Amino acid sequence: MRKRLGSGLGAVSLLLAAASGVLCAQTASSPQELVRKTVWNEVKSANDTSDAEFMFRSRKQGPQDSQTRIFVETRDATAGLVIAVNDKPLTPEQQRAEEERVARFVNDPSELRKKRKQEKEDADRTLQMVKALPDALLFEADGTETGTQGVGKPGDELVRLKFRPNPKYSPPTHTEQVLTGMQGIVLIDANQHRIAKIDGTLFKDVGFGWGILGHLDKGGHFLVVQGDVCNGHWDVTHMSLSFTGKVLFFHNLRIQSDEVFSDYRPVAKNLTFAQGVELLKKQESELAENRQQNGGGEK
């Protein structure tokens, strides 16, 4: 579980969970015990600095349009570049604006520090949620499924669990508050203790700060899917968020996006942010050349 788990949550980066469990003949462990084992493994994976860095792409569908981006992980922060809008290549004006946006981080160390700080805060909130799962939710077995491309590892058996809030749980901070109103299912590779899917829905309104700071509306939904994307490396392949609510009474909150991640490829370790941007520009040029040869738009 890497940075992308926290990156899509915006002002409510509250919605990530990691959980596991199984009631089957191969193990005598209870679901809650396996939850703790998988949480421990996911946190360990997220903090593993020896793990490879990757380049990948995403297509994010929002309420108004879609954006296709390419990303690369660097030692400073994750560099990203928009390469298409509504599956069409950027216009020259759009491309210049995008290059200027990225250049701001390359040329201004203070802006890059802000970006790195934001990414760390998102990751920290994600791990805070992950660590809360064994206490915040109750799990029960709900059968098995078979892993497919992008969902776990193709062919592996995945344990399906239903989850609901633990009525005895008291959230220590606003971050964990959303778990008190969330129910759904998770798919787990119980052998590797990895999450293949988390699908959760708010079955009631959830307030923050006794409702003074705001609330999320009943019916809000999130989906996070992980899989073996490159020679045993697990990462996010799909994330969908759909939430409405209010912040500080007056400001309407609406988060609606559906993002698919693909084409994971390892890159050199310890790239600087500037080197990462150059790698993205090279990749963008190659993609543009391929489009011209194929005579088509961005796919």
Which of the four pLDDT bands, split at 50, 70 and 90, describes residue 30? confident
Chain length of the chain: 299
Say what the pLDDT of residue 8 is: 39
**Could you tell me whether strands 137-146 and 194-202 are parallel, antiparallel, or unpaired per DSSP bridges?**
unpaired
Q: At residue 30, what are phi and psi to the nearest 5 degrees?
A: -80, 160
Say what the pLDDT of residue 249 is: 65
Taking Cα atoms as reference points, which of 79, 77, 80, 81 lies closest to residue 121? Answer: 77
State if pTM tops 0.95: no
Question: Which distant-in-sequence residues (6+ apart) come within 8 Å of 231 by Cβ?
Answer: none
pLDDT in tens, 75-119: 999 999 999 999 999 999 999 999 999 999 999 999 999 999 999
Say what the pLDDT of residue 29 is: 66
Q: What are the residue ranges spanned by the domains of the chain?
A: 4-72+84-89+119-266
Residue 120 has pLDDT above 50, yes or no: yes
Query: Interhelix angle for 31-46 vs 109-136, to 10°?
Result: 170
Can you tell me the distance from the alpha carbon of 37 to that of 31, in angstroms, rounded to the nearest whole number?
Answer: 10
Taking Cα atoms as reference points, which of 279, 241, 273, 269 lies closest to residue 5? Answer: 241
